[in-house]
Structure 1
Amino acid sequence: MAGRALSFGTVARAYERFRPDYPSQLVDLVLEYAGRPVRTALEIGAGTGKATRLFARRGIDVTATDPDPAMLAELRAHVPPGVRTVRAALEDLPTDRRYDLVYAAAALHWTRPEGRSSRLAALLEPDGVLASAGGPVALADPAVEEAVRVARTPFLTTDDVPSPDGTPPGDAMQWPGTELQRSGWFDDVRQCVLPRRLTVDADDLLGYLGTVSAYLALPTAEREQAFRAIRRVLPDTVELVADLTVHLARRRPRHP
């Protein structure tokens, strides 16, 4: 997993171009949950800044962190000038400053699990808010989804990232909500879903797949073969289901 987590910098420009943008409703949801002014925020695994710019444009003082210098370089080209950037993984961040909000967008699962909840809590003000958003992108047409699965199978059995704690997909509370509930560091853990439906060209879908860690881990020749096989079974335009699952939690003043 660690190698896959650091694979995105090689495709930073493609990541910015082909990954879906986050809806403004994500910020609305987080701020409504906070229930008080959010002046400072720390982002974990900011990538190219797709979530960064949304929070920064609401007047929040955002510090964006990522361990990959290429991703941060791309981020700086797209975010407001007031955003601070720090090259660091969650595990390496100093805890001498606390924030009203700590958030991650499609990134928290790449962090080291040991002590993760306590590290996140240490970065938050008492009663500060933690937010995590993410979710798979899937083809809306089951027949097309199956055709892609068959085309992909000689190269990859799956392109999903498994749940870090093994929570089955059908359970009412998904990871990281499950982990936050068990940790003792957080209260009022909530899970919300923001529906997203996208229509993209087949070539843009392949561009997106080119930023998915499972494909990036393949040797170049195999990856190119996989994309040719997938392209042959795709219609020219595809519908995607890209719902965002958002987890929200509040830091307890003290650990039990």
Structure 2
Amino acid sequence: MSRRALSFGTMAQAYERFRPGYPVELFDVVMAYAGQPVSTALEIGAGTGKATRVLARRGVPVLATDPDTAMLAELRKHVPPGVRTARAAFEELRPDERFGLVYAAAALHWTKPAGRWSRMAGLLEPGGVFTSFGRPVGLADPAVEEAVRAARAPFLEDDGVPSPDGTPPEHDMQWPGTELQRSEWFDGVQQTVIESRLTMSAGDFLGYLSTVSAYIVLPRPRQDEIFSRILRVLPETVEISADIIVHLARRRHET
């Protein structure tokens, strides 16, 4: 895995504090697509368990996996006691069971492209559901967004993660839906957006940025300079666009 992919453990507590969680509506969207109760679920790249707790608190048995021990330690503080955990990257998973649901929350882009979908299908029961979702956080006010970009630019041109297959942001179907549509292992591909707007203090927004990999991997003096510059252009509170983009697909019974 890349250095950025493995950087989050150093900020596990900040990740838990400043990253927005997921609403009950997400659970409802996934269960409506599944069309029946899910008896077993596996999370890839569980982080501190913000997605896992949404399912586990509604009775879904979950195996939460992550390659980082610090992230899993933080996760165990926040999820119901019945949640199982395993330290493993997606490519290392060799469970002795198949699952009715496999999901990844803001983590799938860190997995290796080669063999991604055949490996994913191997984790699912025939007819089982795969879902990937994330809530990219952006400043709702274009003027504030531009001021932050300009403050960051001398040290960091872009703090996002580009689409793994190059799909542009304006495309109707976003990644990984684009890859799922081409995969022989999955059908019934759907994309759903759960609209969300949040308000953060300037300090909490900087806290959020401190959990973004593009900043984590920078030398500490450079981080401090960027955050100082950004803080100077932020209003006291900021409105955040945090729509949740959900992709759903079903594992084919036969391929």
After TM superposition, the score normalised by the length of structure 2 is 0.99
For residue 135 of structure 1, report the CA deviation from its aligned partner: 3.5
Matching residue of 1:224: 224
Matching residue of 2:157: 157
For residue 95 of structure 1, report the CA deviation from its aligned partner: 4.4
Q: Which amino acid aligns with 2:165?
A: D
Q: What 5-or-longer segments of structure 1 have no aligned partner? A: none
Q: Which amino acid aligns with 2:237?
A: T
In structure 2, how many angstroms separate the alpha carbons of the residues matched to 1:42 and 1:70?
19
Please tell me whether residue 203 in structure 1 is matched to residue 184 in structure 2: no
What are the equivalent positions in structure 2 for 1:183-198 lying under 5 Å apart?
Answer: 183-198=183-198
Q: Is the 8 A contact 1:187 1:251 kept in 2?
A: yes
In structure 2, how many angstroms separate the alpha carbons of the residues matched to 1:137 and 1:123?
30
Could you give the per-residue CA deviations for residues 182-215 of structure 1, whole angstroms, max 9, x where no partner exists?
A: 1110010000000110001000000000000000
Q: Which amino acid aligns with 2:98?
A: R
Runs of 4+ in 1 over 6 A off after TM superposition: none
Q: Is the 8 A contact 1:39 1:59 kept in 2?
A: no
Q: Which amino acid aligns with 2:39?
A: R
Q: Which amino acid aligns with 1:144?
A: V
In structure 1, how many angstroms separate the alpha carbons of the residues matched to 2:26 and 2:43?
14
Q: Which amino acid aligns with 1:210?
A: S
Please tell me whether residue 131 in structure 1 is matched to residue 131 in structure 2: yes
Q: Is the 8 A contact 1:101 1:130 kept in 2?
A: yes
For residue 96 of structure 1, report the CA deviation from its aligned partner: 2.7
After TM superposition, the score normalised by the length of structure 1 is 0.98
In structure 1, how many angstroms separate the alpha carbons of the residues matched to 2:136 and 2:22?
13
For residue 36 of structure 1, report the CA deviation from its aligned partner: 1.2
Please tell me whether residue 46 in structure 1 is matched to residue 57 in structure 2: no
What are the equivalent positions in structure 2 for 1:37-116 lying under 5 Å apart?
Answer: 37-116=37-116
Could you give the per-residue CA deviations for residues 30-66 of structure 1, whole angstroms, max 9, x where no partner exists?
A: 0000001201000000000001111001111100000
In structure 1, how many angstroms separate the alpha carbons of the residues matched to 2:15 and 2:49?
10
In structure 2, how many angstroms separate the alpha carbons of the residues matched to 1:58 and 1:103?
16
Q: Which amino acid aligns with 1:46?
A: A
In structure 1, how many angstroms separate the alpha carbons of the residues matched to 2:92 and 2:75?
20
In structure 1, how many angstroms separate the alpha carbons of the residues matched to 2:173 and 2:36?
26
Percent of aligned positions with the same letter in both sequences?
69
Q: Which amino acid aligns with 2:216?
A: L
Q: What 5-or-longer segments of structure 2 have no aligned partner? A: none
Matching residue of 1:8: 8
Q: Which amino acid aligns with 1:63?
A: L
SS at match of 2:21: coil
SS at match of 1:14: helix
SS at match of 2:3: helix
In structure 2, how many angstroms separate the alpha carbons of the residues matched to 1:2 and 1:251?
28
For residue 227 of structure 1, report the CA deviation from its aligned partner: 0.1
In structure 1, how many angstroms separate the alpha carbons of the residues matched to 2:135 and 2:71?
20
Matching residue of 2:25: 25
Q: Which amino acid aligns with 1:169?
A: P
Q: Which amino acid aligns with 1:92?
A: E
Please provide the CA RMSD for this pair. Answer: 0.8
Greater Cα offset, 91-100 or 235-244: 91-100
SS at match of 2:4: helix
Q: Is the 8 A contact 1:95 1:122 kept in 2?
A: no
In structure 2, how many angstroms separate the alpha carbons of the residues matched to 1:215 and 1:133?
22
In structure 2, how many angstroms separate the alpha carbons of the residues matched to 1:180 and 1:117?
8
In structure 2, how many angstroms separate the alpha carbons of the residues matched to 1:46 and 1:18?
16
In structure 2, how many angstroms separate the alpha carbons of the residues matched to 1:89 and 1:247?
21
Matching residue of 2:214: 214
